[in-house]
Amino acid sequence: MIIASVIMFSYKYNSSISDDKIEEKARGFGMHYDYECKVLFGGDDTND
């Protein structure tokens, strides 16, 4: 376990990912921006 810990802490990796890739993955999970959604409120109906 000590050897594995030393190897784990000495290994440096670059986990940076571009903003475009992050957004692409998030949209794959269903992310959306507020301005992309149409919102209907119950009190806005003018046909009462």
pLDDT one-digit tens code per residue, 1-48: 888 888 888 777 667 888 899 999 999 999 888 888 877 766 655 554
What is the per-residue pLDDT for 14?
67
Residue 45 confidence (pLDDT): 54
Distance from C-alpha of 19 to C-alpha of 10, rounded to nearest angstrom: 27
Place of tokens 């440096």: 12
Whether the model clears a pTM of 0.85, i.e. scores above it, the answer is no
In this prediction, residue 29 carries a pLDDT of 95
What does the angle CA 31 – CA 33 – CA 34 come to, to the nearest 5 degrees? Answer: 130
- The dihedral of CA 33, 35, 37, 41: what is its sign? positive
Cα-based distances in Å from 32 to 15, 21, 29, 35, 40: 24, 15, 9, 8, 17
pLDDT at 7: 85
